[in-house]
Amino acid sequence: MNLVFLGPPGVGKGTQARVLAGQFGLTAVATGDLIRAEVVAGTPLGCEAKKYIEAGNLVPDDVIIKMVEDLLARDNRQGFLLDGFPRTIAQAEGLERMLRGLGRQVSAAVCLVVAEEKVVQRLGNRRMCPICHRVYNLLHQAPLVSGRCDDHPDAELILRHDDDPATVRHRLQVYRNQTAPLIDYYRQRSLLKEVDGDGPVEDVTGRIVASLSR
């Protein structure tokens, strides 16, 4: 099973990707997490990507495609789950090309749907562990000890740079302009699964699993 996760910032792609990758034994590839790790490590790629990610813009297609290609070529699990890739038609075409070369194909593109005002509220209340990238929510998924990661109690949870309200509004605009066209791209290939992303995390997971078995 090779899955692609689509949907606007804050819709719950990362949260669901972590659950489903574990459940199905898939390699989870979160391009946002990969880029943030490069930024923290201060690699040339990270230094180049920093200005894009902090402004809420997309990192250039060729950089991202190369990064995913290297990872998928090494993947030897039962399949992959791509969270946040592809994000443009050029990336989707790049993915198709690289999978053809590996004798694989996308099994389904899951698009989570949540009202925009709710995703803005979720992002304002998101906190992240700087070590393991585990995501919390002050309203819905609070850590056991306020401000501390459950798995790394020494680590203080952080608010992502791009989660400030102005950058969130910009990221939503970038999503509408550059990523939303992928919904039709995958619908035309009969791969699209639109899933209601509202409600408790377990309910959303159940809806995704049900959509995949249809």
Residues that are catalytic: 13, 87, 126, 160, 171
Q: Within 52-111, which residues bind ligand AP5 (CB under 6 A)? A: 52-53, 56-59, 64, 84-85, 87, 91
Distances (CA, A) of 7 to 159, 172, 192: 21, 10, 12
C-beta of 103 vs 139, nearer to ligand AP5? 139
How many positions of this chain bind ligand AP5 (CB under 6 A)? 33
C-beta of 108 vs 111, nearer to ligand AP5? 111
| 8 Å CB contact between 88 and 178 | yes
**Residue 12's Cα: distance from chain center in Å?**
8
In terms of phi and psi (left: phi > 0; alpha: psi -120 to 50; beta: otherwise), the region of 195 is beta
- With CB under 6 A as the contact rule, the residue among 3, 6, 10, 21 that binds ligand AP5 is 10
Question: Does 50 sit near ligand AP5 (CB under 6 A)?
Answer: no
Rounded to 5, what percent of the chain is helix, strand, coil? 50, 15, 35
CA R_g for the chain = 17
**Residue 142's Cα: distance from chain center in Å?**
20
| 8 Å CB contact between 205 and 114 | no
- With CB under 6 A as the contact rule, the residue among 21, 31, 186, 195 that binds ligand AP5 is 31
Interface pattern 132-171 for ligand AP5 (x via CB under 6 A)? ---xxx--xx--------------------x--------x
- With CB under 6 A as the contact rule, the residue among 122, 134, 193, 207 that binds ligand AP5 is 122
Separation CA 169–CA 183 (nearest Å): 20
- With CB under 6 A as the contact rule, the residue among 2, 4, 6, 13 that binds ligand AP5 is 13
List of residues contacting ligand AP5 (CB under 6 A): 7, 9-15, 31-32, 35, 52-53, 56-59, 64, 84-85, 87, 91, 122, 126, 135-137, 140-141, 162, 171, 201, 204
